[in-house]
Every structure is written in C-alpha cells, then in structure tokens.
Amino acid sequence: MTIEFQVEGMSCQHCVTAVTNAIREHDSGAQVRVDLASGRVAVESAQPAETLKAAIDEAGYTVTGITSGTASGSPGAAR
C-alpha cells in the first residue's frame, strides 16, 4: 500500500536520507520517495501508517498529514 505523508522540517538531502532510513528501519523493503519542495513523502510499505509516522517523528520531523493510497497492484497506484 502507498501512504503519503506531509512532513515539515525537511530542507536538504540529509533530511531525505534521515527520513528514508527511519522508515526502512521498520520496513527494509519500503520504497520511499521524498519531494523536498512540497514536503511530501510517499511510502510503499506493508507497515501501518501509524508505525511509519512514528518513525518519521522519531527522526525529528513533524508529520502534519497522512493520506492512505491504494494497494501497489491497483490501478492508479504510485510506483
């Protein structure tokens, strides 16, 4: 399932790496896409959104919104 987070506090490549690594500590196979300009982090993972949000929070960033997407095999799913 793809989950999109709106995250505050990311400003550089170090932030991208920190968020990506935090998520992958909970799901090593997660696919993570970060858009610094918009503050969006799209994650394809089997982990629940709450677990991934906690990982982002623990890395020192603030999640201000969560949108659950579709299952990875469904039409229109982000890849």
Domain-wise residue ranges, the chain? 2-68
Mean pLDDT on 7-26: 97
Which has the closest alpha carbon to 5: 28, 34, 25? Answer: 34
Mean pLDDT on 47-51: 96
In whole angstroms, give the CA distance from residue 73 to residue 57.
Answer: 28
Q: Which CATH architecture has domain 2-68?
A: 2-Layer Sandwich (3.30)
Mean pLDDT on 9-19: 97
What is the value of pTM for the model shown?
A: 0.84
Q: Is the four-CA dihedral 70, 72, 74, 79 of positive or negative sign?
A: positive
Which has the closest alpha carbon to 77: 34, 49, 35, 45? Answer: 45
